[in-house]
Structures are given as C-alpha cells and as structure tokens.
A and B are shown apart, each in its own frame.
Chain A
C-alpha cells in the first residue's frame, strides 16, 4: 500500500486545467521526484495534497485514509509537512521560535498536556529543538530573527520547520532554487538523512542533477498531466520526456 495515493486528481481554474486526471503513488520510504516545465502543475499538486486548494475531482489518500475535504492543519496532524517555493517563514519570530510554533504533531500532543503544550516556556522543549537546529546547521543563529537570515539559511530553516512537525511525508517545493552547488550538495545530504530517519520525501525540483541523484522514482508532468513515470535512468531515456521537457537536450 502506497503512503500517498492520488487518483484521478484534477484542479481547474476557470478554463485552465492546472492539474488534469493525475494518478500518483508514493511508497513509504521513497524519495519521489516530481518534475516538469514551468506551469505544468507541480506546485498546484503540492497545494492540493496539503489542502490549500480544493479538488475539482478525484481523491487523495494518505496512509490508507482518504483526505476528503480535511483542512490543512489536520492534514499536517496526519503527517504531511511542506516547504514553500517562495520562502514563507515567520520573519519577526526568532529561528528558535519558528521551530517552536511548528510543534503541533499528535506525538507532541500526547507527550504534553494541554497547558504545558500551549503555556509552557522554552525550557520544556530545548532538547528537541536543539537537535533540529543541529541538523540544519543553524544552532549558532537560534536567537536571530528569521527575517535577518541569509537566503540559504532561510531555506534550511524552512526545512527544519517542516521536520519540527514530525512528518511522515515532506513535500519540498523547489528547495534548491537559487542555491549554489555547495549548498545543493548539503541539501542532498539532508534529504538522504531524512530518508534514513524513515521520512518519505516528495521532491518538486528543477535542478536535474539533484533530482536524478537522490530520487528513487520520478513522475513527469506536462500541462497538468503525467507524461512519464519511472526510475531516474528510465526517465532520462524517455523520448516523450525529452521532447516535452528537456527539449532534446540532455540534462
């Protein structure tokens, strides 16, 4: 049974079919790549999975249960976290606080009572957040305002914030956009570490080196439809993909 399963998912904006009859199955423990030209419906798909957009038709099931019209914050409670293409941190909160406010998982709920969860101070969770800061290499910046971080640091904080929700599945929406090669290398290591910790990753990305390097399986979208799916080497060999997406060039 797949962890995340999209069946015949469509989303239309007026006459535009941003996503049209999409089927996807992401197995637990996979790193699944979702690629396609600009405007092919990748970000819309992410927004449909997290519930920011309503489905026009189709269904999305996670962990064997249908999402239906579940609101965003409850989908997160089931274990779906995300990062944003255009970084959306809480700029006037510190790095530390950005991770703190994200601790909304059922596991956190079970561990602490209502009062301690909401009205507890920073001391209660110091250990957990230190680990996340360590993981993302932001420990020395923990008291900075998020708005004052450099671009690459902000991306790292977004990833850490998604992990603070203790997800089963993380949707990464173009996490490498605007990064240099060294940063992309560090990002690759982090994604692989996440898989080692048992987190499934859906990676939406334009940087082909990264996608071909880390993913187990790739789906290619064009005009809202899936035109190919397979392992990275299968995708690289696929004629339809070359024509629609790579324009004949090798990536």
Chain B
C-alpha cells in the first residue's frame, strides 16, 4: 500500500507544480521559470524546519510567500518581453536559480552534525516527517489537502471575473488594454499566484524526499510543469490533474516494466499526444461529454 501512497505523494506535488504553470498559461505567457520557484520553495522550507527548527505549516507558508515574492520580482522585468522571448527569459531564470543553488553553501552545526545545503551535494536530512512520526499515508493526505486547496482556489478564479480577465489577456493583449485591463497587473498577479503555488509545492517536495539537490530542479522539471497543463488542456484545472496522473502514474510508474525503453516511449507519447489532441486531453468537447455523463444524459439532445 505504501507504494501507492508514495505515488499519490508524487502526483500531488507535481499537480501543484502543474497548477502553478496553468494560471500563468491562462494569460498566454509560457513560463519555464516554475521549476525555479519550486526550487526556491524547497530550499526555504527545508532550511526553516531543519536549521531554524520551525514547524511544517509556518515553514510552508513562508516558502509559499517566498516563491510568490520571487515570481513577482521576476514578473515585472520578464513580462516586458513577449511570446518566445519570455520562454527563453524564464528558461534562463530557472537555470540561474539552479546554478545559484549549485554554488550555495550554508551549513550550521546542530548536535555535532553539520546540516544545511552544500553546493553540488545538495541538502540532506530534511527529516521533519520521519522525526515527527508521520506515516506515509498521513503525509499523502497532508499533501492532497494542499492540492485540493490550490485546485479550489483556481477553480474559483475560473468562475470569477478574474478568470475571464486572465483568459481575455491570453487571447488578445491589445483588445484587453483597450477595454481598460492593466496588462502588467494581471500578468504579474498570475505569475505571483503561480509562484506561491510552486513555492508551496517545492516546500512539500523537500520534506517528502528528505534530500534535495540542484539537479532535480533543471530544465526537465520546468518542461514537466509546462507539459501538465498543456497536455491536460487549459479549459479546466482538472485537465492538469489528469495529465499528471497520465505522466507520473501511467508513463513513469506504469511503464516501469519496460526498463529503460520506458524513457524512450515517454518522449514519443508526448509527441503523439500533441499530434492527436492538440488542445489537450480535456478540451472543450471532452468536458461537454463528461458533463453530460454526470448529468445522466439529461443535456444530451
């Protein structure tokens, strides 16, 4: 059973990462910086519980705020550039964060043992969960509590005027400006909310793996973050969850029996999925179809 709880933990954390890219994508901005915010959250939360001895909840709150603050700071200059330039700028930002932690040493002696991040070796012994006797199931439920919270938030956004404004900006910036929408405020706010969700996800990630290092936060993680909402479709937050389950559950775990052929199939399946369903798994017609099933075919005409 522990295997499935562990898998559910991974899916939960990656869902947070995917949701952080989802809200930014709604405004039409392709950001590869989400892994950077995730990394910032991971290191901040880890240092707070291990070095400062904080409890997990305040540590996660601070890591989330930190992720949001960094995203907001990056958002202002980065969103001056558009489209493909932004892809490249955010990609470079993510790499800069990774390289920063690659060169980052901050160790404190605690009870005769030196703890803290050491450059390329990473940050070991983030043992809050085992030290406090949490079982795998408890950790899993803890993570999914946050995932549901984040999904509820974004789902609410989608139903409010804010969500419509995000999509309006994503569709036509010039028209959005012309009906009085402040582009900078909208884009930076989306980036900041995305950064907060990524920072939270990173903080949780640091604690369930207990060991983080710069290499985990590279371009691969950044493209995963982006891949979830694109694969899932931007119509609904549930698309992102479906895509995470597909990638982490089916491709990464489900195909383990294939050995290293699995990795080959992984890239090929992404290519195939995008050719077959260019608007994602849960595009508008798919959502309509699902809606009909739930309503017992009352809506079917």
Contact = CB atoms under 8 A, between A and B. Distances in A.
Interface string B7-39: 000000000000000000000000000000000
Contact of B171 (A84, A93, A122): A93
B159 A102 contact: no
Given A90-B172, A118-B162, A101 B178 contact: no
The SS class assigned to the B binding surface is: helix
Contacts, number: 80
Interface string B141-182: 000000000000000110111101101100110111111111
A: contact size bracket: 20 to 34
Interface string A100-114: 111111000000000
Contacts of A50: 178
Interface string B217-239: 00000000000000000000000
Interface stretch (A15-23, A33-41, A71-79, A182-190): A71-79
A150 interface: no
Interface in A118-150: 118-122
A104 B171 CA distance: 18
A162 B178 CA distance: 9
B178 A82 contact: yes
Interface string B178-215: 11111100000000000000000000000000000000
Nearest to B160: A119
Given A77-B180, A101-B168, A164-B179, A52 B174 contact: yes
Interface residues of B, number: 22
A155 interface: no
A50 B183 CA distance: 15
Contacts of A120: 160-161
B181 A104 contact: yes
Nearest to B166: A101
Interface string A155-171: 00000011011000000
Given A90-B168, A92-B171, A97-B164, A121 B159 contact: yes
Contacts of A117: 161
Contacts of B176: 90, 101
10 contacts: A71-B177, A72-B178, A73-B181, A73-B183, A90-B167, A104-B179, A105-B180, A118-B165, A119-B156, A162-B179
Interface of A: 50, 52, 71-73, 76-77, 81-82, 84, 88-93, 97-98, 100-105, 117-122, 161-162, 164-165
